[in-house]
């Protein structure tokens, strides 16, 4: 079956890792017609608006996108393109599986946790203003509708993937209304899934617990801000953002992306590691129903990293992007 997929290569090393992933998917026999579009941070206009209309329309047309890394201005400049794409397309569920990759050095072994993050509201609504000079107010938006939707997504995911336990992460002891509503909405949904063990944990304790004993967690369900923080924290347990994939899923479309930085210092030098975008593309293949190809690529990726002969500098090797990609394709062909 042929698939039509939007490709947003991104910035910095984005085009290099996107090109590598395209080669690997083709070698696996997956038939994809790519519609490549731009959505770059440097396209920001003087008014602070950015050019994403073409990317949004392409994803709406194709329903699936693969996206490389893009930069976001700090303390000024245009709003985040990443956030804009998720909100505009209502990709309300961020899915971040965090799992050890064979051969990649990390602080822990046997980590296997999935973080499900609400993707459209909370402080990421971007509703902030200066009340008076020197005083800024940011509004945290939590709705029953969005909280219920992400809870339903998480419990359905758990049932489908054979997960046994969900921890809802919150700060309802302080933000009793906003995080309180988040928890109340989840509790209603949890009652519909007695097969899944449901627990709650305050976010600061959860941060401590995950670095003390990550194996105690199976799935984490979080509002937007805590989900952003804890998903990166969890990635650090297994080697960093370069070895973790990510998906943004809605009812009508899904976008799979590398969430690491653009690495401008090595852009164009052929040193980039495509692993994160490749893991995201494996999630994309599962979404498209190409599970056989996804498992074959997954096995080849694990084999190349475990052997350690053709891995990139960031995970302790000496290979460049092309050598790594060639080795993975050879592993695929070897079966």
Tokens of residue 92, six digits: 């309300």
pLDDT at 319 over 80: yes
Model confidence at 84, pLDDT cuts 50, 70, 90, reads: confident
pLDDT at 56: 86
Q: Rounded to an integer, what distance in angstroms lies between the CA atom of residue 216 and that of residue 162? A: 16
Q: What is the pTM of this model?
A: 0.91
pLDDT at 46 over 70: no
pLDDT at 326 over 80: yes
**Burial (CB count within 10 angstroms: exposed 0-12, middle 13-18, buried 19+), residue 20:** buried
pLDDT at 79: 53
pLDDT at 50 over 80: no
Across 15-19, 81-85, 109-113, least confident range: 81-85
Across 82-96, 101-115, 188-202, 204-218, least confident range: 82-96
pLDDT at 40: 57
pLDDT at 42 over 70: no
Model confidence at 53, pLDDT cuts 50, 70, 90, reads: confident
pLDDT at 304 over 80: yes
pLDDT at 189 over 90: yes
Count of all residues that appear for the chain in the document: 335
In the sheet with 93-99, reading across from the earlier edge strand, the strands are 31-36, 2-8, 64-67, 254-257, 247-249, 93-99, 112-118, 219-222, 165-170, 197-202
3-class secondary structure for the chain?
CEEEEEEECCCCCHHHHHHHHHHHHHHCCCEEEEEECCCCHHHCCCCCCCCCHHHHHHHHHHCEEEECCCCCCCCCCCCCHHHHHHHHCCCCEEEEEEECCCCCCCCCCCCEEEEEEECCCEHHHCCEEEEECCEEEECCECCHHHHHHHHHHHHHHHHHHCCCEEEEEECCCCCCCHHHHHHHHHHHHHCCCCCCEEEEEEHHHHHHHHHHCHHHCCEEEECHHHHHHHHHHHHHCCCCHHHCCCEEECCCCEEEECCCCCCCCCCCCCCCCCHHHHHHHHHHHHHHCCHHHHHHHHHHHHHHHHHCCCCEHHHCCCECHHHHHHHHHHHHHHC
pLDDT at 52: 64
Domains of the chain: 1-106+238-335 (3.40.718.10), 118-222 (no CATH)
Is the pLDDT higher at 232 or at 45? 232
Percent of the chain whose predicted confidence (pLDDT) is above 90: 81
Mean pLDDT across 214-219: 97
Mean pLDDT across 260-282: 95
Span 306-318, pLDDT tens digits: 999 999 999 999 9
Across 79-88, 122-131, 326-335, least confident range: 79-88
Span 242-255, pLDDT tens digits: 999 999 999 999 99
Task: Say if CB 182 and CB 223 are below 8 A apart.
Answer: yes
Task: Say if CB 304 and CB 331 are below 8 A apart.
Answer: yes
Mean pLDDT across 279-293: 97
Mean pLDDT across 218-233: 97
Give the CA radius of gyration of the chain.
20
pLDDT at 198: 98
135 contact partners, CB below 8 Å, separation of at least 6: none
Q: Rounded to an integer, what distance in angstroms lies between the CA atom of residue 64 and that of residue 5? A: 5
pLDDT at 196 over 70: yes
pLDDT at 49 over 50: no
Q: Rounded to an integer, what distance in angstroms lies between the CA atom of residue 24 and that of residue 255? A: 19
Sign of CA dihedral 122, 123, 124, 126: positive
pLDDT at 128: 86
φ and ψ at 289, to 5 degrees? 85, 10
Q: What's the chain's average pLDDT?
A: 92
Span 146-168, pLDDT tens digits: 999 999 999 999 999 999 999 99
φ and ψ at 330, to 5 degrees? -60, -40
Whose CA is closest to 200, among 219, 175, 225, 178? 219
Whose CA is closest to 207, among 176, 179, 185, 231? 231
Give the count of beta carbons closer than 10 Å to the beta carbon of residue 107: 11
Q: Rounded to an integer, what distance in angstroms lies between the CA atom of residue 321 and that of residue 311? A: 9
């Amino acid at each position: 079956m042929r698939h039509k997929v939007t490709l947003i290569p991104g910035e910095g090393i984005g085009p290099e890792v996107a090109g590598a992933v395209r080669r690997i998917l083709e070698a696996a026999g997956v038939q994809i017609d790519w519609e490549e579009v731009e959505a770059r941070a440097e396209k920001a206009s003087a008014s602070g608006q950015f050019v994403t209309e073409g990317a949004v329309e392409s994803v709406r047309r194709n329903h699936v996108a693969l996206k490389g890394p893009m930069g976001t201005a700090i303390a000024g400049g245009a709003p985040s393109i990443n956030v804009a794409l998720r909100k505009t397309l209502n990709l309300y569920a961020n899915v971040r599986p965090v799992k050890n990759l064979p051969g990649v050095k990390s602080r822990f072994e046997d980590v296997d946790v999935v973080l499900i993050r609400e993707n459209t509201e909370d402080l990421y609504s971007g509703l902030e203003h200066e009340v008076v000079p020197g005083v800024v107010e940011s509004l945290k938006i939590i709705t029953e509708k969005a909280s219920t939707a992400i809870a339903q997504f998480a419990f359905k995911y758990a049932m489908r993937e054979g997960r046994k336990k969900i921890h809802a992460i919150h700060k309802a002891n302080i933000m009793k209304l906003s995080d309180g509503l988040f928890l109340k909405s989840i509790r209603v949904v949890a009652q519909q899934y007695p097969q899944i063990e449901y627990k709650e944990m305050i976010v600061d304790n959860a941060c401590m617990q995950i670095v003390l004993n990550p194996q105690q967690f199976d799935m984490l369900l979080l509002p937007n801000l805590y989900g952003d923080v804890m998903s990166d924290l969890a990635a650090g347990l297994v080697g960093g953002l370069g070895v973790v994939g990510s998906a943004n899923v809605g009812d009508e479309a899904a976008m799979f992306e590398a969430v690491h930085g653009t690495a401008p210092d090595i852009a164009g030098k052929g040193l980039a590691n495509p692993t994160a975008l490749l893991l995201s593309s494996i999630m994309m293949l599962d979404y498209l129903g190409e599970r056989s190809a996804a498992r074959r690529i997954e096995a080849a990726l694990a084999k190349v990293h475990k052997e350690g002969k053709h891995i990139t500098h960031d995970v302790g090797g000496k290979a460049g992007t092309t050598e790594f990609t060639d080795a993975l394709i050879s592993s695929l062909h070897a079966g």
